Structure 1
Amino acid sequence: MPDRRTPNSSLRRLLAAGDWTYEALARAVNALGAENGTCLRYDRTSVAHWLAGTVPRPYVRELIAEALTRRLRRPVTASDLGMGPCEPGPPLDTRPPGGAPSGAVARLTTLCALNADPARRPVLEECVYRADGPDGSPWQDLLARCPAQRRPGGTPEHEREVRHLRDAVDFFHRAGDLGGRHAQTALVSYLRDDVTTRLHTGRSGGPHPALMAQAALLALVLADMYADDLRHGIAQQYHRAGVHLAAEAGDHLVGAVVLSGMGAHALDVGHCRQALRLTEAALRVAPARTPPGTRALLLTRLAPALASAGHRDRALASVAEAEEHCRRAADGGTPGPAGVCDCSRALCAFAKGRTLAALGDRAAAVAALRQSLEHRPASACRWRALTHAEIARLLLADGRLEEACAAWHRFLDDRPQWRSARADRALAGLRRELRGHAAHPRAGAVLGRAERAGKRP
């Protein structure tokens, strides 16, 4: 039977506009796959097949569209690729509105319904992390366009509901200390079955703003869980849902916390400029009377972004200011609205370590990270393991092999309780980095222990 495939002229034009070779597009798609937690091995032959009319699976089409979006510095959708009609998907929150926000509860409801339904979950699993364009994203301006609202007085029933949601935010936030896979499904179900129901059954004027603000924080906690599990596209969807909820509630304090969380996520994914734009925007939209603990949190997310962008003096100044606000909070300053909005001493020292590491001061970074461990509770397995891994990498880069091995051992002590794809990646990194030192007795002992840990289910 003759081959009836039609050559893909649309993709060819996009390649020509980006002045890209087949190999360059394949590399970009593979890199985006890795960014989104998927190992791909496309090459120039694969691109040649696409140009000849072969249609890859929907997830890969999303990666191709995002790769071309970043190359051309303008939006390119999967339907622009000339790979046939895309099946109409659900109204996911992919772009912010140009004006005031609307439909925030409907967005969250759609997202949670997809996530909780095994038959429709693949649509969400194929979400790709979207980088902002060169001129920034309207996400960072969404709150600024929405004036802060005075919360109307609530009935006793409303007050009880707000307290219940605030307790849930704190519970799930602490559950995240065990890793992104811990309580993730439970939080999705809670949002779908309980939270969105409460929001939909609000008064005739719409859901109470305080309920929407707490729902925004729950979306932020779930986004952090997915980010820790390296499912960055889904994490971004929940971050965006959280911004919409905070904006529609007129709660600039919660909105600033969610924006800064988006910025921290962007930095983890490797988008330094986007991280800086978002963390700076978070401080701009934060109210003048932001509690010191929350102000410290915003600054601890700004400092590493500044350091990664090369702004040394501003980064160090942000660290110093964060430490001062953290001290004020510890000395009895006004508490933030929930634990997820507060900055602990451990978090402040951890951010300082990451900032110094990005500035190239490895010795000072190690000292700050070790200080953060002194304030971490034993139950914070995820953060303890992550910090030990950061310390080990810095020590190894400094040629301090035996100290690095000691840190890797402590990482392996906490690693079994840290349940996420990031934990798996950290373990794989340990094995990769120490293989070149396997002849050293201490390195060999750590490597053997890591190999055994990697074989456990």
Structure 2
Amino acid sequence: MSKRGPNVALARLLDESGLSDTQFIRAVNRLAAEAGVAVRYDQPSVSQWRGGTMPRQAVRPFIAEVLARRLGRPVTLAEINFPAPAATPDNRTLPRTVDELADLVRSDMDPSRRGVLSAGLYSVALTIPAWPDIVGRMEAVQTGQVRRIGRADVEAVSAMTDRLSELDDDFGGRYARPMAAAFMANTVAPFLKAEASSDVRKAMLSATSFLCYLTGWMAVDERHHGLAQRYYVKGLELAGASGDHSTYCHILRGMSVQAVDLGHGVTASRLASAASAASPNSGPRMRAFFAGQQAHSYAVAGNRANALQSIRETEMAMEKAESQAGTFGGYSPATLAYHVAQVRYGLGDVAGSVSSLQLHFRLRDATDSRRSGLIFNTMLAERQLEMGHLEAACGTWNRVLKEYPKVHSSRVDERVGKIQELLRAYQSNSTAREVYERARGISADRHAKSRT
């Protein structure tokens, strides 16, 4: 750490945030842990930073992000009087979207870089490119390569994306994302620089945009949230370059799902509303697709009136929907029941949430993913236990543990890991003790395999 004059800018922002020094430093430590960085600062560190002591470079982004989350707006390093990090091959800004994407997937494939990428910081103050700022920017792709691509190449990328999505749904992001990154680096990136007609180029950019979204979703499943945001932003830029408004809105909604799962309700509702507002003319099922996510986000943000209004809009749109054809996400009655469950739970109705989750499972069909079934079942069990229904919760968890070994998902790992913690107080009950021991054995086996 280096010492300079008092950091008036940092002191001003801390005062504006209303956080005490103790609250602030705890938030910095929590955020660092979220990003996979082990730090343990205490209150005197804040006094030192106010006085001009420069924190370590790795910690500075956490300080800016804590302030951004508290203030509800972006906070740059320059605004806190911290110098920008020196340009390196890993963090310098490349001039073109396609080059940036190629650099990202190459780094993602490099085992020596993967730990750095996965520790990337999730930012609620991330700058989202607006549709008018990125639409039609075809100059992002440089032509001049020897190879020329055609419609068959676009169809191959789309078909491979579908296969990767199926693998992700059934087996988890940890299983599928390395294949997605390799495919993007070895096949798709060269396609983006090849010669093509205008129509084919737009179609390839659009197909790559959705592949970026899928790869980001896989990173979310691995709890690599900063990395996921990088893939999402590249997807937004490519969607704009191709004029693909639908995919642009779909990615914004996916970013809202990520934010709401992390508990950032205000950010999630902002992203969901942006997706809905930017959506082109769409049918009722697509409107439900966006409104359902808005409702969930508002509920997590504690905005009861908007949550209830949005879920009513979702229900009315679904009543008008006749077909899933041509819609992203295949928003279905089962999905609606899930969103109703999340709204009810966010607004304090635990019993209603359990009822809606049970309806969700009655409405599910073969197209719903194994991973989502596990996540939603653990959610159901936790809420059944919250109501005092121990036997029902144990029965739900047993269904989870039966399928769990087939899925390689950090999100599922996290929820299965909570079973022991939640059942520890119920060891006198034979059913609870049996589920506890089963969960402990399966988790130990998973950890052992991950070390080999």
TM-score category, normalised to shorter length: 0.7 to 0.9
Query: In structure 2, what is the Cα distance between the partners aligned to 1:216 and 1:443?
Result: 46
Query: In 2 relative to 1, CA 363–39 (structure 1 residues): closer, same or farther, beyond 3 Å?
Result: farther
Counterpart amino acid of 2:291? L
SS at structure 2 position matched to 1:270: coil
1:397 corresponds to: 386
Partner of 1:217: 210
Paired position in structure 1 for 2:61:
62
Q: 1:207 to 1:200 in 2, by over 3 A?
A: farther
Tell me the SS of whatever aligns to 2:175. Answer: coil
* CA-to-aligned-CA distance 1:335-387 (integer Å, 9 cap, x gap): 23xxx543244333222221221122222221221222231439832111101
Secondary structure, aligned partner of 1:452: helix
SS of 1:377's partner is coil
Q: Describe the SS at the equivalent of 1:18.
A: helix
280, 291, 302: which one pairs with 1:299? 291
**In structure 2, C-alpha distance between the alignment counterparts of 1:148 and 1:334, rounded to whole Å:** 27
Cα offset for 1:278?
1.0
Q: What CA deviation, in whole Å up to 9, does each residue of 1:209-250 have, x standing for no partner?
A: 221111111111111111111111111111111111111211
CA distance in 2, matches of 1:417, 1:321: 37
Q: What is the RMSD computed on CA atoms of the aligned residues?
A: 3.4
CA gap of 1:69–1:328, structure 2 versus 1, over 3 A, is closer
Match of 1:351 in 2: 339
Structure 1 residue ranges without an equivalent (≥5):
96-101, 150-155
Unaligned runs of 5+ in 2: 138-147, 448-452
User: Is 1:246 aligned with 2:239?
Assistant: yes
**Between 21-30 and 84-93, the greater mean CA deviation after superposition:** 84-93
Partners of 1:175 and 1:132 in 2: CA distance:
32
Matching residue's letter, 1:231: H
Q: Single out whichever of 102-111 and 177-186 deviates more from structure 2.
A: 102-111
Cα offset for 1:86? Answer: 2.6
Contact 1:65–1:76 (Cα < 8 Å) also in 2: yes
Hey, what does 1:425 align to over in structure 2?
414
Whole-Å separation in 1 of the counterparts to 2:115 and 2:353? 41
Superposed, which structure 2 residues align to 1:21-40 within 5 Å? 21-36=20-35, 40=39
The AA in structure 2 aligned to 1:35 is E
CA contact (8 A) 1:253 1:287 kept: yes
- Residue 349 of structure 1 aligns to a residue in which SS? helix
Match of 2:143 in 1: none
1:373 and 2:365 equivalent? no
The equivalent of 2:141 in structure 1 is none
Q: Distance in 2 between matches of 1:127 and 1:319?
A: 34
Pick from 326, 329, 332 the counterpart of residue 335 of structure 1.
326
User: What CA distance in whole angstroms lies between the structure 2 residues aligned with 1:53 and 1:380?
Assistant: 51
Given that 1:229 and 1:422 are in contact with CA atoms closer than 8 Å, whether structure 2 keeps it comes out as yes
| CA distance in structure 2 between the partners assigned to 1:397 and 1:39 by the alignment | 32
How many corresponding residue pairs?
A: 431
Identity value in percent:
29
TM-score by length of 1: 0.82
CA gap of 1:122–1:408, structure 2 versus 1, over 3 A, is closer
* Aligned pair partner of 1:415 in 399, 404, 407: 404
Whether contact under 8 Å (1:93, 1:241) holds in the other structure is no
Could you tell me how far apart the structure 1 residues matched to 2:410 and 2:34 are? 12
Of 14, 19, 29 in structure 2, the residue corresponding to residue 18 of structure 1 is 14
Per-residue CA deviation, residues 418-437 of structure 1 (Å, 9 max, x unaligned), is 31222222122222222122
CA contact (8 A) 2:9 2:80 kept: no
What whole-Å deviation, never above 9, does each CA across 1:249-296 have from its counterpart, x for those lacking one? 1111111101111111111122111111111111111111x2554333
Is the alpha carbon distance of 1:448 and 1:372 closer, same or farther for their aligned partners in structure 2, counting shifts above 3 Å?
Answer: same
Give yes or no for contact 2:97–2:234 (8 Å, CA) kept in 1.
Answer: yes
Structure 1 match to 2:86: 87
Query: Paired residue for 1:279?
Result: 272
Contact residue 165 and residue 215 of structure 1 kept, 8 A: yes
1:242 to 1:445, Cα distance in 2 relative to 1, 3 A? same
Letter in 2 for 1:181: R
Alpha carbons 2:398, 2:435 under 8 Å: kept: yes
Preserved CA contact (<8 Å) 2:210 2:247: yes
Q: Cα offset for 1:119?
A: 4.0
CA distance in 2, matches of 1:295, 1:92: 38
Closer, same or farther: CA 300–32 of 1 in aligned 2, 3 Å:
same
In structure 2, what residue type is equivalent to 1:217?
Answer: F
User: Do the aligned partners of 1:216 and 1:254 also contact (CA within 8 Å) in 2?
Assistant: yes
Equivalents in 2 of 1:259, 1:229: separation in Å? 19
Task: Tell me which amino acid in the other structure corresponds to 1:266.
Answer: A
Amino acid at match of 1:350: Y
Pair 1:188-2:177 in alignment: no
SS at match of 2:103: helix
TM value normalised by structure 2: 0.83
Q: What is the Cα deviation at residue 172 of structure 1?
A: 1.8
Give the alignment of 1:118-157 within 5 angstroms.
118-132=111-125, 138-139=128-129, 142-145=130-133
Equivalent position SS for 1:127: coil
State the alpha-carbon separation in 2 of the partners of residues 292 and 302 from structure 1. Answer: 15
Q: 1:84 to 1:319 in 2, by over 3 A?
A: closer
**1:364 maps to what in 2?**
352
Over residues 20-50 of structure 1, what are the superposed CA-to-partner deviations in whole Å (9 max), with x where a residue is unaligned? 5543332011221343355654333555677
